[in-house]
Every structure is written in C-alpha cells, then in structure tokens.
Amino acid sequence: MDELDAILQQRQSNMTGLTGKTIVLGVTGGIAAYKAAELVRLFVKAGATVHVAMTESATRFVTPLTFQALSGNTVWVDQWDTRMSNGMAHINLTRQADLTVVAPATANFIAKLAHGNADDLLSTLCLARDCPLLVAPAMNRQMWSNAATQRNIAQIRADGIDILGPDSGEQACGETGEGRMLEAAEICAAVVAYFQPKLLAGRRVLMTAGPTFEALDPVRGLTNLSSGKMGFALAQACANAGAAVTLVSGPVSQATPIGVARINVQSAMQMREAVLKEAPRSDIFIGVAAVADYRPATTAVDKIKKSGETLSVEFIRNPDILAEVAALPSAPFCVGFAAESRDLDTYAQGKLVAKKLQLVVGNLVQDGMGGDTNTVVLFDATGRHPLPTSSKEELARDIVAHLSSLLS
Ligand code: PMT
C-alpha cells in the first residue's frame, strides 16, 4: 500500500473526527439544556452515535422528543424504564460508549457526582460507567464561585473527571460572570480533540498564520488574501495532538483554536518580534503566515491626500522570519509553507534547502488561499509526499501525523 492509500484509508476511519465513536450525553436541568440540542446535532454530524440520558428536571427545559429526533435514538430519563430488555439502562448505556459527556451539568448534579449519589438514572449511570466522563458546568456566577461548588469541582477533578469550561459572560438570569456553559461547538471541538492521538504530547509549538498588514498611512496598507484558515486549523490539530501551542496571528477574523495561546500582530516586523521572543522556548516552529516580503519605507503619520495622477511608494525588504528562526543556534524543528502560483515542486524544494528546513508544505495559491479546502504536497529530505485535496482540518491532521513521524 502506498502512502496516499494509507492516508485515504485512515481518512475513511476518521472521516469527521468522531466516526465510530459512541457518546452518552447526559443533560441536566438548567437553561443551557437548549444548547445540548445543538451539541447532539454536532456530535451526529461529526460521525458519532449519540444516546441521551436526561434528568427529570432537564425535561422541563427541553423535551426528550427533541433529543430523540436529533440523535435518532431512544432517550432515557426514568431509571425504572422497562424498554431496555434487562431493565438496566444505567449499566447498558455506558458499556457500549467510548465517552460520557454531561452538558449542561448543574451545581446540584456536580455535587451528586462529588458525593457518589445515585438517585436517578443519570447519576446512577455516571457512577456505574466504565468509560471516561467529561462535564460542562452551567450555572449562575454565585453558584459557580460558591465554596461548596468549588470544593465539589476539585473533588470530581481529583476523581479523574475532566471539566470543560465554564465560560464567563452574560447569563440567562441577567447577571454577568463565570458559570455559563461553553458553546456547543466548543464542547464538540473538545470532544474531537479528546479522541485524537497525542502525537505531539510534551512538545511546544510556535506558529504564524494569516496575512501581515504593512501600513502606508493610518487607514491604508499592503496585505494579501490569506484568511488564516490553514494556520488556525493546523494550530488546533497541534493542540489536539497534545502540544502546547502559541499562535502569532496577523489580522484575521478566525476564532482562536481551543487550548491555543494567541498573540495578535499586524505587520511583519511585529510578527518577527513576537516570534523571536517565543522561539527559544519552542521545540517546533511552523510558518504558515503569508508574510509580506516588502513594507513601505515610511508610514505617513496623517492620511495621504490625493495629489497628482500617480503615487509612487518605495518598499523595503522585510526580514525572513522563518529563515531567521531556522538559523538560530538552537533552532527548533522548522516547518515552512510555500505558496506558489506555478512550478510548485521546484520552488518548494528550493525553500527546503535554502532556508534549511526539515519540512515544507507546498501549495498553489489558487488552491489554498482563502478557501476551506487545499491541495498540498509535503517535501522533506526523503522526497515529495502528495496529500489528497481535503478540508484544511483534515490536511492539518495529516500534516501533524507526518511531522510527528519525522520527529521520531
Ligand atoms: O490563510 P489561508 O487563506 O488558509 O491560506 C493558506 C496559505 C495559502 C496562506 C498557506 O497555506 C501558505 O501557503 N502559507 C505560506 C504563504 C507564504 O507566504 O509562502 P512563501 O512561499 O512566500 O513563504 C515561504 C515561507 O517563509 C512561509 O512559511 C512563510 O511563512 C515564511 N516567510 C516568508 C516571508 C517572510 N518575510 N517571512 C517568513 O517567515
């Protein structure tokens, strides 16, 4: 089997992040229960089989029918339910599951977990489970900061239960503070990450992404069409693979990948400064940013006024950030991207050698810039390794897998 077949086969077994996984979703009685409906939809979309177990009070917020329609499976509420042939839903459900997630988890439910109470189906199921448990708390800010809740959270964490969030912000009660449940998309991303192999565990990854903006005056400048999608997908894949990731980003509208430390910059010079500060603490550097090769020689303090038929601007060369990092005395493992409009192999291989890199990800700008998919070829000391055209998220996982194989 050649490399491409191996990747395609692996893709089929991990098409959307949760394919082949069975998740039990516990829903408890808080207003955030409405977000659990969206969570079921996202889990199913990502390929998971979902079984929902609700507390009695959760059914006051959202009906079991909603979850049944979204999951396509029977919803469980009553521990005395006789629909399961042996009458033991609290045992059977988690025996086939890879993971149990409770979202939203109320203060009361967290207290029950901390004390090992089993007085309804969901709490009994959690106590009897033989798979890992993730909990997404959702409650009023005072309930969250209450010493009793914090004690209970510390206890369940010590018992090996992972806590997702909570977020802080406006709450359903009108107050503002910490305690609101993470968004469904954030919980789903955390669950996808949970299942990824930890190929970069213990590694510190420094990355750049997006375009740079080289100012001409206070309102105008030179930039390019990089959206940041490729770099942000790669940052998320590295974090999902267990790395501590710092992402230096040019001006983009992408949401910060979960678990990634983000540093926002505008110009190539600011990007260089941020990168050189972080580089000595990094094991791997990945340059995905489309850094402007030139910047205006001067930036006008005031807006440039219209005058004459032409305007000449002098540009000066920006430093090559990637080449500088690769030339450091204790340089990290360096990965470059090569964005070309033609002759990809020649230019990408040239960059591998000229910048003294361990890996170059080559792509044509017409394939990769701005869109959701890309077609890339990986170049390293052993040759060229083409990857099938895919979403930037899938390619990011493949790049991480190839990168980790080179590290080892
Ligand atoms: O952001 P998207 O819309 O998702 O698009 C993704 C992408 C096309 C921008 C991405 O896949 C990509 O190819 N990024 C590299 C773009 C680029 O500037 O390539 P380059 O061939 O000009 O530069 C080669 C390498 O040197 C890159 O790793 C670049 O980050 C780095 N570089 C370049 C110039 C410079 N002054 N400093 C650098 O570090």
Say how far apart CA 301 and CA 74 lie, in whole Å: 66
b vs e for 294-320, b when ≥16 Cβ sit within 10 Å of the residue's Cβ? ebbeeeeeeeeeeeeeeeeeeeeebeb
CA-CA distance, 207 to 230, in Å (whole number)? 11
Q: Which of 70-84, 108-122, 332-346, 360-374 has the lowest mean pLDDT?
A: 70-84
Assess whether 170 and 240 both reside in one domain: no
- Distance, in Å, from the CA atom of 179 to the CA atom of 100, rounded to the nearest integer, reads 21
Q: Which residue's alpha carbon is at the smallest distance from atom 20 of ligand 1?
A: 338
Write out the H or E segment, with its range, that includes residue 189.
helix 184-195
Closest-CA residue, ligand 1 atom 5, reads: 369
Calculate the CA dihedral of residues 74, 75, 81, 82 and round it to 10 degrees.
0
Q: What's the confidence (pLDDT) of residue 87?
A: 67
Last residue of a domain, one of 169, 195, 221: 195
Ligand 1 atom closest to Cα of 288?
14
Answer yes or no: are the C-beta atoms of 252 and 211 closer than 8 Å. yes
Residue 120 lies in a domain: yes
Is residue 107 within 8 Å of 145, Cβ to Cβ? Answer: no
What residues pair up with 262 in beta bridges, in sequence order? Answer: 247
Please give the distance, rounded to the nearest whole angstrom, from the Cα atom of residue 289 to the centre of ligand 1: 5
Report the separation in Å between the CA atom of 99 and the middle of ligand 1, taken as the mean of its atom positions.
38
Token look-up 């025996």 returns 95
pLDDT interval class at 238 (50, 70, 90): very high
Residues, the chain: 408
Q: Are residues 241 and 321 in the same domain?
A: yes
* Averaged pLDDT, 344-364: 96
* Domain CATH code at residue 117: 3.40.50.1950
- What lies within 8 Å, CB to CB, of 10 at 6+ separation is none
Q: Which domain holds residue 83?
A: 19-195
DSSP letters, 101-131, are EEEEE-HHHHHHHHHT---SHHHHHHHH--S
CB-facing half-sphere around the CA of 399: CA atoms within 13 A: 34
Q: Tell me the HSE value of 203 on the side-chain side, using a 13 A CA sphere.
A: 26
Mean pLDDT, residues 358-387 taken together? 96
Q: Give the tokens for residue 31.
A: 């207003």
**pTM given for the model:** 0.83
254-281 average pLDDT score? 95
In this structure, are 208 and 186 located in the same domain? no
| DSSP β-bridge partners for residue 121 | none
Share of the chain above pLDDT 70, in %: 95
Listed in sequence order, the DSSP H helices in 21-106 are: 33-45, 64-71, 89-95
**Do residues 160 and 274 share a domain?**
no
Looking at residue 174, its pLDDT comes to 86
Residue 3 covered by a domain:
no
In this structure, the answer to whether residues 258 and 378 fall within a common structural domain is yes
At which of 150, 168, 195 does a domain end? 195
Whether 158 is covered by a domain: the verdict is yes
Looking up tokens 């791997």 gives 284
Count how many domains the chain has.
2
Other C-beta atoms lying within 10 Å of the C-beta of residue 355? 19
250 three-class SS = coil
CA of 68 to the centre of ligand 1 (A): 46
CATH number at residue 240: 3.40.50.10300
For the CA of 289, the nearest atom of ligand 1: 30
Is there a single domain that holds both residue 295 and residue 332? yes
Exposed (0-12), middle (13-18) or buried (19+): which is 264, by Cβ within 10 Å? middle
Q: Examine the domain organization and report whether 281 and 364 are in the same domain.
A: yes
Mean pLDDT (the chain, rounded): 93
* Probe residue for ligand 1, chosen from 223, 247, 252, 291 as the CB with the greatest number of ligand atoms within 8 Å: 291
For 390-408, what is the mean pLDDT?
94
Q: Which atom of ligand 1 is least distant from the CA of 324?
A: 39
Whether residues 338 and 262 share a domain: the answer is yes
Q: In the annotation, is 173 catalytic?
A: yes
Asked if residue 227 and residue 139 are part of one domain, the reply reads: no
Which tokens go with 99?
A: 């993971």
For residue 369, being part of any structural domain is answered with: yes
Of 208, 226, 328, the residue with max ligand 1 atoms within 8 A of its CB, to mutate for a pocket test, comes to 226
pLDDT computed for residue 7 by the predictor: 55
Mean pLDDT of 353-368: 95
Question: Pick the catalytic residue: 173, 188, 238, 334?
Answer: 173
Using CB distances shorter than 6 Å, the residues near ligand 1 are 208, 226-231, 268, 287-291, 293, 318, 320-322, 336-339, 351, 363, 365, 368-370
- Can you read off the two tokens belonging to residue 106? 């109320």
Query: So what's the pLDDT on residue 31?
Result: 94
Q: Of all residues in the chain, what percent carry a pLDDT higher than 90?
A: 85
| Residue 292 Cα: closest atom of ligand 1 | 36
For residue 114, the model assigns a pLDDT of 97
Do the domain assignments include residue 7?
Answer: no
* Opening angle at CA 53, ends 49 and 54, nearest 5: 140
